[in-house]
A and B are shown apart, each in its own frame.
Chain A
Amino acid sequence: MTKGTGVRLERLTKRFGRVVAVRELSLEVAPGELVAFLGPSGCGKTTTLLMIAGIYRPTAGHVYFGDRRVDPLHPRDRDVGMVFQSYALYPHLNLFENIAFPLRLKRVPADQVRRRVRETAELLGIGGILERRPAQVSGGQQQRAALARALVKEPQVLLLDEPLSNLDAQIRLSARAEIRRLQRELGVTAILVTHDQAEALAMADRVAVFSMGELQQYAPPDELYHRPKNTFVAGFVGSPPMNLIEGEFTGDGFRAGGLRLALPKAPTGRGWLGVRPEHLGLGPEGLPARVLVVEPLGREAIVIVELSGHRLQVLVPEDEKPAPDAEVRIAFPTGALHYFDAKGRRIGPE
């Protein structure tokens, strides 16, 4: 398998009038890697993708594919494939002609077009419906056709803009695995845009978390989860989100209102203490708290408790869930805490 090319963004900036959609973005995607751009809606993910594709011109900064600077190039000279959130199939062409479109533009001989379209369609399991128009097939099939159209010209870089967000929950999981498998098999460099952190963590080699046009953290899923760089990432990655308590670090502990925790090697100054719901323990030991709400999720349950005036979410196994209004004890795991300074930047523990 040929590997795709690496992608490097260098201080990429895009303004629309007053709005800064993307600010000074620098990151590198290794050849054959799948990177997810993760962030809430409107944070500049699509804009970044469209600058890589060549639809938008960067206000400043550069895009490199390998060593080649591509930002002055027309999209057709960049060798990228792209899947749009709306799939953007051509409604007046049947699926075969949709998938064949990039090849026809390259004036590939007709018999080769037929072979390659068939191959790609088979790979995606839509070989049997190529005669139909987009409007006559299901959303999942449209998504596959869009993917086939992006892959048929064997691009160096594959761009996926929320390709799964319009699918039913059931197909979405299998489509995740499918895309990941294809991408590995073909060795194409891929960038996946999503606002769904579970999708990003499940599919990507590395995840770039965006907020308001700025890159927050760029790391493998593990690191994102275990060492979030700031409170935004901490709150955005993981479900239910990390508990963040604003208070004061005292060098040997943390204080927030009535809450007092002894923490050896704690920093000093105002800041945030973070702890994931799944790391909080409900048991005989710990600080006394009162249960406010219990939300069963099936195998687990989210318990919302009040602890010295702070609301915390605790994730417990279903069979250990307490009753509402019960008095419980919360144990803080000293090994799984996160410290952030007053501006939200991670300051420990190392």
Chain B
Amino acid sequence: MRRYLTPLLFLSPASALILLFFFTPVVATLLLSFTDLSTTTFRHPSWVGLANYQDLLTDPFLKKILANTAKYVGLTLAFNVGMGLLLALLTSLVPENWGDPFRALWLLPRILPPVVYVFIWQGLLAEAPMGLVSDLLGVSKNWLVEAPWTAVILANGFVGASFGMLIFTSAIRAIPRELFYAAAVDGATTGQTIRRVVIPMLAWPILFVTAYQTLSLLTSFEYILLLTDGGPGFYGTEVWSLHAYHLALSNYFGNVEFGLGAAMAAVLVVIGVIVSLFYLKIFNFRALVTEPKIEV
């Protein structure tokens, strides 16, 4: 057994952190969701079984939040994948010394601090004279309040598009040149080449990006929190994950309903575990594992 001491040493910091901040929280989320933990019961939470889940189902706003979530995930996803595809194609259709700077430019929304990024959106959407949109449309309004969904989807979409863009670009670059030459020899137009040669090769990457982003959109709420905080009005853009966060962690309404929030999060956690295990299966990752050649 002494021979496994070294790998154990190498793995222990990572394992400890993963245990502490992945495994424990997964279990804790599930456990907390069965309690009535809240501001008032913080010291003495009691076991309430499935009560939180029942509350969830009977919540009059459940429908609204589900609809919001579907809208947010569906539309943002469509924008992300569509824009990602468009960007990958466009940056591949122009010479590389043009394509690369544009790709880099589209990375900016992703690497800018979210607070700064969202502030820019708020500024652009503000009333005149500040707001560029008001200026251009000639109607001075706070467009964040007028069209909150457009804002939420665009703000998230501009961040998310680069993910698809990069993956699709790699896929396009991996297409053998001979296919393009063959298409050219056959007299295909650019449009035909894209439809017949490029798009078919992107089927798998598109599926991958869609699957991956569905899961991450379902659970992410950082940009909505900053942009509208679920508003305007009552739950205007409140989505499932944000609602869970609000219930459990923001003292917006005074009493923090930790258990109820945990129940909402637990739904996401369970979906997350199942879906990522499913990815693992279709990924065929065993192909990526090779036997080490050193036995000391």
Q: Which A residues lie at the B interface, using CB under 8 A?
A: 16, 54-57, 74-75
Contact = CB atoms under 8 A, between A and B. Distances in A.
A16 B293 CA distance: 10
11 contacts: A16-B291, A54-B296, A55-B293, A55-B294, A55-B295, A55-B296, A56-B295, A57-B295, A57-B296, A74-B296, A75-B296
Interface string B276-296: 000000000000000101111
Contacts of B296: 54-55, 57, 74-75
Given A54-B296, A55-B294, 9 more contacts: A16-B291, A55-B293, A55-B295, A55-B296, A56-B295, A57-B295, A57-B296, A74-B296, A75-B296
A57 B291 CA distance: 14
Contacts of A55: 293-296
Q: Closest 7 interchain pairs by CB?
A: A57-B295, A56-B295, A74-B296, A55-B294, A54-B296, A75-B296, A55-B296
A75 B295 CA distance: 10
A75 B296 CA distance: 8
A266 B295 CA distance: 51
B210 to A, nearest CB: 39
A74 B6 CA distance: 13
Contacts of B291: 16
Contacts of A75: 296
A16 B291 CA distance: 10
Nearest to A54: B296
Interface of B: 291, 293-296
Nearest to A51: B295
Q: Describe A's contact surface by its main secondary structure.
A: loop
Contacts of A56: 295
Contacts, number: 11
A89 to B, nearest CB: 18
Nearest to A75: B296
B2 to A, nearest CB: 10
A244 to B, nearest CB: 37
A126 to B, nearest CB: 28
Nearest to A17: B291
Nearest to B296: A74
A150 to B, nearest CB: 18
A74 B293 CA distance: 15
Contacts of B293: 55
A109 to B, nearest CB: 28
Nearest to B291: A16
A75 B294 CA distance: 11
A74 B295 CA distance: 10
Contacts of A74: 296
A308 to B, nearest CB: 51
A338 to B, nearest CB: 40
B103 to A, nearest CB: 31
Contacts of A57: 295-296
B97 to A, nearest CB: 30
A154 B291 CA distance: 33
Contacts of B295: 55-57
Contacts of A16: 291
B264 to A, nearest CB: 48
Looking at B293, B294, B295, the one whose CB has the most chain A CB atoms below 10 A away is B295
A223 B295 CA distance: 37
Nearest to B294: A55
B1 to A, nearest CB: 14
Contacts of B294: 55
Looking at B291, B293, B296, the one whose CB has the most chain A CB atoms below 10 A away is B296
A55 B291 CA distance: 14
A54 to B, nearest CB: 6
B184 to A, nearest CB: 40
A74 B294 CA distance: 11
A243 to B, nearest CB: 40
A72 B295 CA distance: 11
A132 to B, nearest CB: 28
Nearest to A56: B295
B206 to A, nearest CB: 38
B296 to A, nearest CB: 6
B9 to A, nearest CB: 15
A75 B3 CA distance: 13
Nearest to A74: B296
A54 B291 CA distance: 17
A47 to B, nearest CB: 10
A16 B296 CA distance: 15
B104 to A, nearest CB: 30
A56 B293 CA distance: 8
A56 B296 CA distance: 7
B292 to A, nearest CB: 11
Nearest to A73: B296
A239 B296 CA distance: 40
A187 B291 CA distance: 37
B295 to A, nearest CB: 5
A78 to B, nearest CB: 11
Nearest to A57: B295
A56 B291 CA distance: 13
Nearest to A55: B294
B120 to A, nearest CB: 43
